[in-house]
Every structure is written in structure tokens, then in C-alpha cells.
Structure 1
Amino acid sequence: MLVKDVMITKVVGVSPDNSVRRAAEIMLANHVSGVPVIDDAGRLVGIISEGDLLRRTELGREATAELGTSALTAEEKATAYVRSNAWRVADVMSCDPIVVEGDTSLARVSALMQEHHIKRLPVMRDGVLVGIVSRADLLKAIVTADQDETASGDEAIRRSIATRLSENADLLGKDTTVTVTDGVAHLWGTIDTEECKKAARVAAESVRGVRRVVEHFSEDRR
């Protein structure tokens, strides 16, 4: 699936001149954890999220305790002070957000979110913001995704399972074989660990049409 298949196109944004309080109100009202920051020319200039508001003076002294630590340089302390006290979105937002396009794969989106520890990505087309894709949208893709597009029938199911096993032969072992009877998959072979056995079972269970998986694995005694 691609970003354009799951993204939200009704985008709620804030101005860099809006107050932090206003940004928080918009997030609460729309049940989102972050919103894009869009300037008067319609350009995306940043993102403001719950994470940007965790160290605010409004939350009490403990939330801004890092300002008093010696681990920070003077410049870092100044930056932290601004982000915890400034009232304008422009001073608190995360600048230069990572963006994707509608034709970006969800696998790539997942990788970016994991790598940069972020929950949402703006979706751009020809330099214009057209949507937002979030972790919640990835969950929707998981829920709605069909497990497999194989044809029905035991032989078709067997071939599909065999393909998945062979694609992961480095993990599951090269001598793993499968038979299918009335939708029940029987797995045979020599697999060393319980986790690898579990992976083989999951590979079979994820094929459409499989009713049950029976394991006949033996351990490598060498």
C-alpha cells in the first residue's frame, strides 16, 4: 500500500504566529497529537506536536528540570529555555520536517518513523501540503490489509506457504517442507530454536485459507 491509500487529506494546521496554547487547543479539539505549521504563503514551515510541549513551564518545575543541569551547554540551555517559555508556535515547533509524497510506500513511512522517532509525516505534492500520514494510519492499513491474494484450495495454499518459507530460508531452514489437507497446514523439517519454529508457524498462519498449523519439527542434534 502507498501513502495516498491511507493518508488524511483534511489537514488542520496552525500559523507560526499562533500561540502555543492555541496549538494545544487545536490538537485536543481534533484528537491529534501534532499539527503542521503553515505560513501565510501556504508553505509548510514546521510541525508542532505533543512532544514539543512536554517541557513547558506550565507543567511545573520538574518538566523543565533539565534547564538547571550542568550537562547542557549555555547554548543548549538557551534553546531549552525558549522552547519551554515561548508563547509563539514558531519558537517551539520542530523545523524542517521530514516529508513524503503520496506514492511513498508504507514500508518506507514505517522506516522513517522508526529512524527519526516521529509519529506523523506531512504528505507533499509539487511543494504543496496535501495530507498527513500517521502511525494510526499504519494501524488502519494493518487492520484492512488482506492476508494474502492466493487462490483458494489446498495446493494453492501449500505453494504460498512454501514460497514464504523459502523466502526466509536463512531464518527457518532450507529443509522445511509443508503439506496442506482441508486447510490444515503441516510443517516438517529441522529447526534449531523455539523462536524460529514460531516464525515458521506465523509464516504459515498468515496465508489466507489456513485454518490451523500443525508442527512436526525435529531439532538439530549435531
Structure 2
Amino acid sequence: MKAKDVMSQHVVTLSPGNSIAHAAQIMLDNTVSGLPVIDDDGTMVGIVTEGDLIDRMELGHGPAPELSTQQARDDFIKSHSWRVQDVMSRPVVTVNEETTIEEIASLFSSRKIKRVPVIREGHLVGVVSRADLIGIIARSKPSLIAWGNEALCLSIAARLREMLHPSICPTVTVIEGTIQLRGTIRDENERRVIRVIVDGVPGAGRVLDQMQLGKPEDPR
């Protein structure tokens, strides 16, 4: 799945000359935490987020004792200017319509951002937000693949061997669709990991957990 499949195409934007109060009101009215900034040519030049507005003078943020450093001057401008162009973040992390949702999710995690504009030939065509990705999870459904007992058992065992050390791989049997897990685990965290792996195998259904706490034997 790609950005073009999940992006919101109706995007509320700002102009560089808009006021900070206008930007804040637009965020509230549209229940969004960030707004792209578009110039007169339709080119995206920045983005204003809640984080850009949190250190404003209206919230009690005052100027530094003196404005002798570049950082102090930058902070003063960002906290006191009434124009969007002085407060917006830039450069902006963007993607194109063919960027995969896996890549977008990775960007959200690594860059600590909540949304990413989608650009086509320099122009904004949509936005993908965290909510758009969460929607994919909400709409997902378990696999409807029907497995026979033996095929399901072999598939689960193979997945466990692929992802776990041999010393903690449980014994798997499947009887009338019920998956039975037996063996020794070191702690409840290992139990949860095994359950997640099993649940992720297409066709997995009811699980009968008969694994015991203890010290697994090392097969070496």
C-alpha cells in the first residue's frame, strides 16, 4: 500500500503571510495539529504545528535577557512574530505518491513527526497522518485462509523456528483446529512473544497454552 492509497486529499493550508492567531484558529476548527504552508505559486514552503506555537509570548514565553546570540534572536522571532512565515518549520519532510506506508511509518518513528505532506512535482497533493495509518490497522481483518491441521501445525512450527532460539521453541500440535503449545519457558515475556508469533500465522485460531515456567534445556 502506498501514500496515494491512504492520503487525505482535502488539505487545509496556510499562506506565509497569515497571522499566528489565524493558524491557531484553523487548527482548532479542523481538529488538526499541523498545517502546510503554501506560497502564491502553490509550492509548499513550510509547515506549522502545535509544537511551533507552544513557546509563544501569548503563553507567557518572554524574550531572553539579551538578544546577543543567534539562538536568542531566533527564539525571539518565533515567540513574538505574528506571521506564519516566521514561525513555520522548514525544511519539511515530504514523500511522494509512490512512497510505501512502511516507509512512512518508519519516518514517523525516526523523525518524531505526526504527518507527512505528499508532493507531486513540487506541489502538495495530500497529507498522510498517523491517524491514516492507524485506520489501516483498524480496518485490517485476520486471514481467512482455511488450513488443515497438519498444514497449520507445520506452518506454526516453521515460523517459531525462524524467529526463536531452538531452546525456547515449544512443541506444537493441532487437533481439530485447536493449537496446543507445550514446552518450558523462562518467563512470561517469552510466553507473550510465542503467542504473538503463533497468532500471526495465517489460519491460527484457538490456542491452548500448556507451556510451563522453568529453565529450558540448551540442545547443544
Smaller-chain TM-score bracket: 0.7 to 0.9
2:204 matched residue in structure 1: 210
CA RMSD of aligned residues (A): 2.6
In structure 2, relative to structure 1, the CA distance for the partners of 1:21 and 1:164 (3 Å cut) is farther
Q: CA deviation at 1:155?
A: 4.2
Pick the aligned partner of 1:162 from 157, 164, 167.
157
Amino acid of the structure 2 residue aligned with 1:44:
M
Gaps of 5+ in 1: none
In the alignment, is the contact (CA less than 8 A) between 1:8 and 1:131 conserved in 2? yes
1:13 matched residue in structure 2: 13
Q: Whole-Å Cα distance in 2 between the matches of residues 69 and 147 of structure 1?
A: 59
2:113 matched residue in structure 1: 118
After the TM superposition, list the runs of 4 or more consecutive aligned residues in structure 1 that deviate by more than 4 angstroms.
67-70
Instruction: Determine whether 1:199 maps to 2:193.
Output: yes
Q: CA deviation at 1:68?
A: 4.2
In the alignment, is the contact (CA less than 8 A) between 1:147 and 1:207 conserved in 2? no
2:38 matched residue in structure 1: 38
In the alignment, is the contact (CA less than 8 A) between 2:161 and 2:169 conserved in 1? no
Greater mean deviation of Cα atoms: 42-51 or 178-187: 178-187
Instruction: Determine whether 1:94 maps to 2:75.
Output: no
Q: Whole-Å Cα distance in 1 between the matches of residues 201 and 23 of structure 2?
A: 45
TM-score (norm 2): 0.85
Pick the aligned partner of 1:146 from 141, 156, 179.
141
TM-score (norm 1): 0.84
In structure 2, relative to structure 1, the CA distance for the partners of 1:19 and 1:169 (3 Å cut) is same
In structure 2, relative to structure 1, the CA distance for the partners of 1:51 and 1:183 (3 Å cut) is farther
Q: CA deviation at 1:209?
A: 4.4
In the alignment, is the contact (CA less than 8 A) between 1:205 and 1:212 conserved in 2? no
Amino acid of the structure 2 residue aligned with 1:35:
L
Amino acid of the structure 1 residue aligned with 2:95:
V
In structure 2, relative to structure 1, the CA distance for the partners of 1:190 and 1:37 (3 Å cut) is same
In structure 2, relative to structure 1, the CA distance for the partners of 1:155 and 1:46 (3 Å cut) is farther
Q: Whole-Å Cα distance in 2 between the matches of residues 217 and 73 of structure 1?
A: 66
Rg larger in structure: 2
In structure 2, relative to structure 1, the CA distance for the partners of 1:135 and 1:32 (3 Å cut) is same
